[in-house]
A and B are shown apart, each in its own frame.
Chain A
Amino acid sequence: MARHAETAQKLRIDEQAATRYIGIAILALIIWRVITVGLAEGYPTSFWISQALNGMVLGGVYALVALGYTLVYGILFMINFAHGEVMMLGGIAGFFALQFAQGQGWMEGPWLVVVVALLFIMLIGMVTSVLIGMTLERLAYRPLRQAPRLVPLISAIGASLFLQYSVLLIFGVSPHSYRKPALISGGLRLGNVFIPYTGAIIFITSVLLMLALYFIIQRTKLGRAMRAVAEDRSTAALMGVDVDAVIVVTFMLGSALAGAAGVMLGFHNTVVKFNSGFMPGLKAFTAAVLGGIGNIPGAMFGALVLGLIEAIGPSALGIPTEYKDVIAFTLLVLILIFRPSGLFGEVLSEKKA
């Protein structure tokens, strides 16, 4: 018996070492590729800076969506795979709000009117997403609270498909295009680097929303209750915390951020359609895993890293930009193999996924 245990232990250590060596080899390959191909192309510095800025904008949007995944996971230990669709519906609602605002002539008004109109559009998107998120929790997840973990996951995938194809059925295949008001359609030119206004606005808004979320989680009574529920649901209930209410609020917060992201992505990509939430949703999930799912600063950091890698990666590796999704999902696979708890993850090891 003792011999067997010893051998098993030794095998495990060998396996760990092997995984590490493979990881190092992959890393070395990537670095070699970057040096021999990416840097050899001789792009100017301003090109890299522009790409990095694009990456930061993308990262900001991913972060908003990733926070929704991580918040819900932190409390319920489930991945809300319909979260991308919650974002998409925020974008759709934002589109109609924008149309309404254009109909009223607000978008051609003085700048103050335009700003207020943009805030109004964002608010409509957020409110819509919040309502969808609450409905999802109530109908698709809460009845399955006591079920094995895989069950709500399947329910989430079902909800995701249901929302996508409902939108397809109601609004059609053709994309709804966001028309940017003149006020935010230009950009700043700093030397050879061009920063579109929408990009700057998206990044700043994302950061502000994240700061607001961080404040709520760390400094308010509600946030304290959320953290308590995340750690130990039944003890939190003993303190007088209405756990169901906290879970609903968690969905509301995550959905509000997703709604904002949906509207901003609409302005950034200029279109939104039934499957607009799918890819960003998966990317944001990747970002959340990268940072360590359940970890809030991790989600923000992971999203920023993913955005940067996606923007810089194709040029650095000397592959076509269309393959940026390949890079993102290869990264997901690599994290899951080499560091499943993510860059900041202690939650997984502590509470077992």
Chain B
Amino acid sequence: MLTLETIHTFYDHIHALKGVSLTVNEGEIVTLIGSNGAGKTTTLNTISGVLSARAGAIYLHSQGNEIFAGETPASPGSRRPGDVRGESVRIEQRNDARRMGGCAVRLDQLPAHAIAKLGVSQSPEGRKIFSRLSVRENLEMGAFARTDTAGIRRDFARVLELFPRLSERLSQPGGTLSGGEQQMLAIGRSLMSRPRILLLDEPSMGLAPILAQQIFQIIREINAQGTTILLVEQNAQAALQVAHRGYVLETGRIVLSGDSQSLLADPQVAEAYLGI
């Protein structure tokens, strides 16, 4: 569903991602673990278009053609003026589609809002709730790119079912919620976009252990309902327990990957990230 091919991302002159490659398959929970500053958030921000990769490619693809039918994925022509890459992006898209069988869109050339419209939804680090918008408006913002009123209403009900706490606070400004409630709102907001892939950045950060556990439980539920998830976590233990597969990131490079069980059993991982 999502492929990163040797992605290089820079902050000015700092080389933050040094050729990250990873794959997330449909229906999976994949986790990206690593210590502070390893480049986990940078990876997610590069996928979602908040940062742009200087080299490499990111593809969003699916087996059928139905996914991108109807929407104008990423209308490359309407981007920055003087940008002549639009045409080449379109051609590449066709080639990629042929190569991978089905339909693919290259994300790394697109602005963030176009990527969001393609169904890549990021719940950013630090939650980034709109603190002056009400809880309801925050959720509505999640569905900004959608026009199917009935579907939005269904997902709104589903989110409130998943997070009953939010339904008591719908008209409250987002900024007045507690940390745990804000995390629920951030995830709920992402779900409102009915994402094809959900990028979760540190959903357990700053939460009491019980709340964190609850959040991981909900991540499992969301996945069981059919949403593909790429999960970034500092809490490697918990992340590997919910994920199917994992990648270990170290100073901008993937140093280890595999299914969660083998990573949990790996002595290197245990020493560096599980605090054993």
Chain A residues close to B by CB (< 8 Å): 221, 224-225, 227-228, 231-232, 234-243
Majority SS at the chain A contact face = helix
- For this complex, 9 residue pairs linking A to B, each with C-beta atoms less than 8 Å apart, are A227-B133, A236-B130, A237-B116, A239-B116, A239-B145, A239-B189, A240-B117, A241-B144, A242-B113
Q: How far is the CA of A240 from the CA of B71 in the complex (A)?
A: 13
Within 8 Å CB of B117, what residues of A? 240
Q: How far is the CA of A6 from the CA of B132 in the complex (A)?
A: 36
Within 8 Å CB of B49, what residues of A? 237
B130 close to A221 (CB less than 8 A)? no
* Residue among A231, A232, A238, A241 with the highest chain B CB neighbour number at 10 A: A238
B130 close to A228 (CB less than 8 A)? yes
B130 close to A240 (CB less than 8 A)? no
Within 8 Å CB of B124, what residues of A? 235, 238
A235 close to B128 (CB less than 8 A)? yes
Binds A, one of B87-95, B134-142, B206-214, B246-254: B134-142
Within 8 Å CB of A238, what residues of B? 48, 50, 112, 116, 121-122, 124, 128
Contact (A234, B132) CB under 8 Å given A225-B144, A241-B144: no
Q: How far is the CA of A318 from the CA of B112 in the complex (A)?
A: 59
Q: Is B131 at the interface (CB under 8 A from chain A)? A: yes
Residue tally, chain B, CB below 8 Å to A: 24
Within 8 Å CB of A243, what residues of B? 113
A232 CB → nearest B CB, Å: 6
Q: Is B62 at the interface (CB under 8 A from chain A)? A: no
A227 close to B50 (CB less than 8 A)? no
B111 close to A224 (CB less than 8 A)? no
Within 8 Å CB of B145, what residues of A? 239-240
Within 8 Å CB of B48, what residues of A? 238
A30 CB → nearest B CB, Å: 35
The 9 nearest A-B residue pairs measured at CB = A240-B145, A240-B116, A237-B112, A235-B128, A242-B113, A239-B144, A240-B117, A240-B144, A239-B141
Q: How far is the CA of A207 from the CA of B154 in the complex (A)?
A: 38
B125 CB → nearest A CB, Å: 11
Q: Is B193 at the interface (CB under 8 A from chain A)? A: yes
CB < 8 Å: which of A224, A235, A236, A240 contacts B137?
Answer: A224
CB < 8 Å: which of A231, A234, A239 contacts B193?
Answer: A239
Within 8 Å CB of B133, what residues of A? 224, 227-228, 231
* Residue among A237, A239, A243 with the highest chain B CB neighbour number at 10 A: A239
CB < 8 Å: which of B113, B121, B130 contacts A232?
Answer: B130
A250 CB → nearest B CB, Å: 16
A241 close to B132 (CB less than 8 A)? no
